[in-house]
Amino acid sequence: MSSRAPRRLPGVRFEAPPPRPGALPRMDVAAFVGFAASGPRDLPVLIEDPRRFADVFGEDLELAWDGRRGEVVTSRLGAAVRDFFRNGGQRCWVVRVTGAQATTNQFAVPGLIDMNNPTGPGITLQARSPGSWSDRVVVGASLEATALRPDPAYAPGTASWLAAIAASTPRLALVVDAASGVSPGDLVRVTLSHWPGATSSWEAWLFVDRIEEDRRAVRGSRRIEIVGATPARWLTRLAAASGDAPATYTPSGAPAALPPGAVVRIDRVEMELRVRIEGEERFRLGGLGFHRAHPRWWEALPRDLDLLQRDDPWPFEHHAAFRRELLAPRFPLASSRPCDVGATDTAALPLAMGPWPTYGAPLQHAAPALARDGLARFDAAVFVAQGLADLLPHQVALEAEHVLRAHDRSQGAPFQGVHAIWAVDEVTLIAAPDAAHRGWEAASAPVDLALGFDVATPSEPPVVARCGCDDSRLPTPPRCPPEEAPAGAFGPSDRGPAAPRNFTVEPREGPPEGPVALPVGARAFTLRWTHTDGATYVVRESTTLERGNGEIRLHDPIVLYDGPGAGIDATAHVRALPVFGRSPGLWHYQVRAVVDGVAGRWSSIVSVRVTTPERALLSDVDDGGDALARVQRVLLRMCAARGDLLAVLSLPERFREAEAIEHAARLRSYDDPADRAGLPPEALSYGMLVHPWPVVLEPTHRGNARRTPPDGAASGVLASRAIRRGAWISPANEALADVVALSPALSPSRWEALLDARVNVLRQEARGFVALGADTLSDDPDLVSVTARRLLCFLRRVALQKGAEYVFEPHDDFFRREVIGSFERLFSELFRAGAFAGRSPESAYQVRADTTLNPPSAVNQGRFVIELKVAPSIPLSFITVRLTQRGDVTAVAEVR
């Protein structure tokens, strides 16, 4: 017997309204727990279509190489969710589990400088969730500047005008467009430049605190005076060598007077972030401000853990619309620091940011990708909460309630793994499809062909160098010929400088040169070329080559770098550009020099093949059964403790008939070597075992056919039946959608033995692939059928729902008659719907709440007991459900 009042899980966003008073509880909502590429850890997320799942949790995660089959093993969570919706499911909750070692990628924001630490590592963003999924992400940042007109009434450059900007509370008079203008939180830049003989300029940066407006309209414009939030930051800007190259700034005071002939320019500046994934631009997010008062403050970018939980800890309401905008589709970046209402703003200014984006890859870690996913080894511990895993069902219920009462909501979800679903009341089906993996271990050599760096000339690009994880196998890459390469269609004027010579690529062996210290990643390399005095350089990148007129060109290239070059060798006049974090594939590069604003010819093309890092290998020791038994037994104890959950269990694909029967017997035993707690017989009716695996046609999957555990499809069939006909209708003989085969093909001669072991066998019939049975693991004849257990789960939920309505009612004869009538009306409807056996209502159900169950002594103690006896449509004997109400606690127990 357990007691539990309906509640909502702290830290979970509920995107649907609560049930209406009197509405029957749903029995079609499922939960799936497993591995995913992205998304929050151990936080249940509501998913109502497969596209939403892909948006939050990404593509199936590559886990290990299966040497027996010659294929990559991926996570099974996504496939289970897609099968659930394919077979009629409408609503599910998904929990991503990882190990504690999972890390989150960091990204330097190109051009954004921390004014409090200008020589430091710079301003960073992080990926929205942990894992190596963001290794493929490249982030670009550009400046959006909108020119503003100064008010003619205040002559720019006068001593009073300059003093107003340089004051502790700066003021600036403007004439702005009536429809746009500026608003609190905007960043305004005032530039004084271009006087005769100027080698530098002054810039003042100020954040808008408030606006004082002159009500007189002037032809669609308005006069305003902006007041700064903090003193303006005055900087001296040294002239750059060319165009949009980054300039050098030094802090300075305001000029005493404007130099004669100086040009005054006033801009409102904002930032645009661009995200490229595998060379394709996927996201653009513009209009970002640099102050917390701005409605689109760049540091308001939320992590998944913040955005998807119900109680978002973000303290500023004026960012709510901006954060909702980032919900779908999910923007891949988030702020690297939590926001505190009383914290001082980060003094970040886009000093080195230009109008064209400069891209940067993640600051990579030395650890392998799978280790950064928290899955360096397969471990059953990621699926369970440590404090609840080894408790019996009644102990699980008591401890879980204690944890919920003591949990701090600001810390996210209170449980890990399958136990994260404990307090999501609407869930009635649960599966852990990734628990059936065989386990993996680190590989000692690359699994696939480890092609490293392929250096190509403008002719046909051959493979001339290879590199996997052992750089000693790299020969010295050939250098490009010293003469100029053909200009091709992209060639500039012949007046420009010669194409850079000796354009080569080398693997990274140490930290990159230059002021920004980036950690070395496993997929990093350096582009090098000979330097020309007085030149800056443009490097462009593409993932595709195109051929025409006997020439090879970059197709749809992007500008990767525009500047003087990232480093200089000590022994030669050489420029170098480190490149980090490119995803596996072929990448092509060209460079050209720019002298005095005139661009030269493009160099020859250098092609770099970035390899897939070493994958883990599936273990040759077939020990996955221990982890699977551990997870499934913990899951059965949790379902029994909740009292209204059914676990849909699957087996490894490799299990033949004997292994399946042995595993079922292992689950049904009280003790197990891999499980420190016993499994009481009453918990067995809370789980059903399904085998073998269906082979599903899925257009988005490579080869269009995919083998997947059956728990997703079985949960979808159960949910569909509950929606259309009721949870008490058997899901057997329901054809699975898009299934074309089974793996492995079980022998029909062993079907009977499998059914006796309580394994629900999938088989092929004329109308499709169907389940041969619908049994729980229980040996109790009254609870063998899944429909009997699901009916009792439904009645339990109804009893808890109605019990919450009875808390404050006076206990008298009228109240008891009202309660009895309410349940009898409900049971009458269920009887007509086929939920109960029997020829008449009297033989199908009974409702009691008389004085025998509620003597005066119990009434004086505030206790009310109602006994419900039902005969499910399969069993022939009555099963009694007893509802006890005492104070504000509702308890439901099955009495045999």
Give the distance from CA 269 to its chain's centroid: 31
Domain housing 827: 810-895
State the distance between the two ends of the chain, measured CA to CA, in whole angstroms. 12
Asked if residue 593 has pLDDT above 50, the reply is: yes
Shared domain for 63 and 161, answered yes or no, is no
pLDDT tens figures, 614-664: 667 787 666 557 889 999 999 999 999 999 999 999 999 999 999 999 999
- Let me know if residue 449 belongs to a domain: no
Q: What whole-number distance in Å separates Cα of residue 327 and Cα of residue 56?
A: 9
Mean per-residue pLDDT, 591-618: 79
Q: What whole-number distance in Å separates Cα of residue 363 and Cα of residue 228?
A: 35
Name which of 528, 506, 605, 606 is nearest 574 in CA terms: 528
CATH number of domain containing 865: 3.30.360.90
Span of 232-241, 736-745, 760-769 with lowest mean pLDDT: 232-241
Shared domain for 860 and 815, answered yes or no, is yes
Name which of 505, 517, 535, 688 is nearest 604 in CA terms: 505
- Let me know if residue 574 belongs to a domain: yes
Shared domain for 196 and 313, answered yes or no, is yes
Residue type, 770: V
Name which of 728, 757, 763 is nearest 744 in CA terms: 763
Shared domain for 280 and 301, answered yes or no, is yes
Model pLDDT, residue 584? 65
Predicted TM-score (pTM) of this structure: 0.77
pLDDT tens figures, 700-730: 655 578 899 999 999 999 999 999 888 888 8
- Let me know if residue 818 belongs to a domain: yes
CATH number of domain containing 396: 3.40.50.11780
Q: How confident is the model at residue 517 (pLDDT cuts 50, 70, 90)?
A: very low
**C-alpha dist (Å) from residue 413 to 396, 534, 683, 894:** 17, 58, 26, 30
Asked if residue 852 has pLDDT above 50, the reply is: yes
Model pLDDT, residue 744? 93
Strands 233-238 and 200-218, sheet pairing: antiparallel
Model pLDDT, residue 154? 67
Q: How confident is the model at residue 473 (pLDDT cuts 50, 70, 90)?
A: very low
- Let me know if residue 820 belongs to a domain: yes
Asked if residue 461 has pLDDT above 50, the reply is: no
Mean per-residue pLDDT, 53-66: 91
Shared domain for 179 and 32, answered yes or no, is no
Shared domain for 206 and 350, answered yes or no, is yes
Mean per-residue pLDDT, 795-810: 78
Q: What whole-number distance in Å separates Cα of residue 484 and Cα of residue 561?
A: 21
Asked if residue 127 has pLDDT above 70, the reply is: yes
Q: What whole-number distance in Å separates Cα of residue 415 and Cα of residue 32?
A: 15
Model pLDDT, residue 893? 64
Residue type, 754: L
**Number of Cβ atoms within 10 Å of the Cβ of 269:** 18
Shared domain for 331 and 419, answered yes or no, is no
Shared domain for 148 and 293, answered yes or no, is yes
For 715, phi then psi, to 5°, come to -65, -40
From 614, 635, 667, give the residue that closes a domain: 614
Mean per-residue pLDDT, 118-127: 80
Shared domain for 356 and 496, answered yes or no, is no
Asked if residue 80 has pLDDT above 50, the reply is: yes
Q: What is the 3-state secondary structure (H, E, C) of 28-84?
A: CCEEEEECCCCCCECCCEEECCHHHHHHHHCCCCEEEEECCCCEEEECCHHHHHHHH
Asked if residue 525 has pLDDT above 80, the reply is: no
Q: What is the DSSP letter of 13?
A: -
Q: What is the 3-state secondary structure (H, E, C) of 371-383?
A: HHCCCCCCCHHHH
Contacts with 688 (C-beta within 8 Å, 6 or more apart), sequence order: 646, 647, 648, 649, 714, 760, 774, 775, 776, 777, 786
**C-alpha dist (Å) from residue 891 to 1, 796, 855, 865:** 7, 9, 18, 9
Name which of 548, 561, 211, 557 is nearest 359 in CA terms: 561
- Let me know if residue 460 belongs to a domain: no
Model pLDDT, residue 175? 78
- Let me know if residue 187 belongs to a domain: yes
**Number of Cβ atoms within 10 Å of the Cβ of 539:** 25
Mean pLDDT of all residues belonging to the chain = 79
Q: What whole-number distance in Å separates Cα of residue 4 and Cα of residue 396?
A: 12
**Number of Cβ atoms within 10 Å of the Cβ of 761:** 23
CATH number of domain containing 534: 2.60.40.10
Asked if residue 71 has pLDDT above 90, the reply is: no
For 857, phi then psi, to 5°, come to -60, -40
Asked if residue 346 has pLDDT above 80, the reply is: no
Give the distance from CA 405 to its chain's centroid: 28
Shared domain for 625 and 600, answered yes or no, is no
Span of 8-22, 628-642, 687-701, 881-895 with lowest mean pLDDT: 8-22
Strands 616-618 and 62-66, sheet pairing: parallel
Q: What whole-number distance in Å separates Cα of residue 366 and Cα of residue 103?
A: 12
Shared domain for 90 and 30, answered yes or no, is yes
What is the tally of structural domains in the chain? 4
Model pLDDT, residue 74? 92
pLDDT > 90: percent of the chain:
30
Q: What is the 3-state secondary structure (H, E, C) of 87-153?
A: CCCCCEEEEECCCCCCCECEEECCCCEECCCCCCCCCEEEECCCEHHHHHEEEEEEEEEEEEEECCC
CB 452 within 8 A of CB 476: no
Asked if residue 6 has pLDDT above 70, the reply is: no
Q: What whole-number distance in Å separates Cα of residue 654 and Cα of residue 638?
A: 27
Q: What whole-number distance in Å separates Cα of residue 681 and Cα of residue 776?
A: 12
Model pLDDT, residue 700? 65
Model pLDDT, residue 883? 59
Model pLDDT, residue 460? 34
Shared domain for 553 and 515, answered yes or no, is yes
Name which of 191, 4, 126, 1 is nearest 804 in CA terms: 4
Asked if residue 423 has pLDDT above 50, the reply is: yes
Residue bearing the bigger pLDDT, 508 or 588: 588
Asked if residue 18 has pLDDT above 80, the reply is: no
From 307, 325, 360, give the residue that closes a domain: 360
**Number of Cβ atoms within 10 Å of the Cβ of 71:** 12
Residue type, 495: R
How big is the chain, counted in residues? 896
Model pLDDT, residue 14? 33
CB 709 within 8 A of CB 73: no
Enter the tokens of residue 521. 């990643």
Model pLDDT, residue 583? 66
- Let me know if residue 371 belongs to a domain: no
- Let me know if residue 787 belongs to a domain: no
From 614, 649, 664, give the residue that closes a domain: 614
Mean per-residue pLDDT, 517-525: 42
Model pLDDT, residue 408? 66
